[in-house]
Amino acid sequence: MLANCKFGAPGSGSWKRLIRLVEISMDIHHPGLISDCLISVFTFLKEDDLIVASCVCKDWHEAAETPWLWRRLCLQRWSFCNFAVTGTEDVNHSWKRYFLRRAHLEMKMSKGRSGSYTCKSLRGHTGSVVGLVYLQGSSGHLPHLWNTSAIVCSASTDGTVRAWNVQNGELLWCSPVQSPLMQLITDEKHEVVITADSGGLIKTWQGETGQEMGSFPTASSHCSLLQYNISNTWFLTVGTGQGSVCTLEESALTKKSSIMVIYTESLTSPAEDEDPLCQSVPVTGLQAAVFIPTQPSRVAVVHNKRPNKKILSVFDVSIKKSKYKSEIQVQQVESFTLNTSSSQILLEAKNSNCLLLAANQELLVYSLKGALLASFKEHTMPISSMCVDSFRVVTASRDLSLRVLTWRNDGTLESRYHLLGGSHTMARGFTHVACDYSSIVASTEGKDGKDVLKAYYFTS
């Protein structure tokens, strides 16, 4: 009966039924059971009803404030909750505070109404922004609801990295000018920023101060950067335009290995007599690729089968060992034709069964089996960038708008609202976008050659 009740205001029929059920379930001869009975019945209540129940009497208030009830609500609504971010040692209220604040912040971000956020323009770059990453923020898995010091870093062709406080729009530091920068990534755990410039010079920067920590020359104008941790040891793998793969250790960028291959059995601790392993993925005309979350050896790629026909294929990569040798195995898991012929493709993965593809003005959502789950065509110009997390999807476009979509509880995607980035008289459109749990930052291409960042901060 309780599971289907919508309680409404105290004194209504549903609340009377709740009170009667509690009375029946409690043994008046054992007062100590009252709290246990109330807590058991209150597991059927949603957060609003639980708050109302806490106002009925002292016994109900004590039961409704039980941390276990609010922890249960948190874990039912979110798959992961970072209890440490509540910033309090009061166990009796921490889970309740966490739930109410996170739910309130999500409500504001879901609606995007005027007054629920502030927008600031971050100016200082004298060139084009080539990368935008959060150095210190709050992800969907680690929402720092009590931390308002989210920091975003931007890299530019003006040869500088800049760090900004998202909430107040303050420039925290700027690196010395060097060759035009081409790439930017970060390691939030260690607060390290990594850049690659047009001459192939890799550098690391201390996130708090902007101090240079290490450098490594690759002599390649085109580099791909991948940072990761193994047993608490920091590694950076660099792929170059010449086909070499170099693995560097810690922020000082100490060289661990360098080989002319695509894959190797051990990049972080190669044996002296180890033969490099190489295996090509059997596709041509590769346009986009992404590793699938929770399955790091599974990769999805978009490629051309023939002119004007796009294919999305999924591969599992593994190593087969025998007594005398090891071989890389690349096995196709799925392959299907895409409903687009666009030459501009962006590909992201939400989880092991949800792929997002941006093609021109359209956002497409596919299952791993190739079923088209949803499509959105709300932009008037091509989508230039998108970011995806467990709560929302944000797409940036040349039409100078950001479209914000949120995930429903059933896993479907719902379009919510848009944010504007200024006037086309001053800018040519958005080029990059990044978001954390409480803010969105995007770069606009200035017509004067000086890109500007737009920071949207949602207050909780």
pLDDT (tens place) for every residue of the chain, 460 residues total: 444 444 444 445 555 555 555 555 555 555 555 677 777 778 888 888 888 888 878 878 888 888 888 888 887 777 666 555 444 444 445 788 878 877 777 777 677 666 678 889 999 999 999 999 998 654 444 445 555 568 899 999 999 999 999 888 899 999 999 999 999 999 877 889 999 999 999 999 998 899 999 999 998 888 889 888 887 888 998 888 777 888 898 989 998 877 765 444 455 555 555 555 666 677 778 888 898 887 778 899 998 877 678 899 999 888 787 777 777 788 888 999 988 878 789 999 988 889 999 999 999 999 999 999 999 999 999 999 999 988 889 999 999 999 999 888 788 999 988 888 878 788 899 999 998 878 899 999 999 999 999 999 887 5
CA distances from 81 to 109, 124, 294 (A): 18, 37, 18
How far is it, in rounded angstroms, from Cα 390 to Cα 143?
A: 11
**What predicted TM-score, i.e. pTM, was given to this entire model?**
0.76
Q: How far is CA 133 from CA 140, 219, 438, in A?
A: 15, 25, 14
Provide the strand spans (E) within 113-253: 117-122, 129-136, 151-156, 161-165, 170-174, 181-187, 192-197, 201-206, 212-217, 223-230, 233-240, 245-249
In the three-class reduction of DSSP (H, G, I as helix; E, B as strand; rest coil), residue 428 is classed as: strand
> How do the domains of the chain map onto residue ranges?
13-77
Q: Indicate left, alpha or beta for 8 from its phi (over 0: left) and psi (-120 to 50: alpha).
A: left
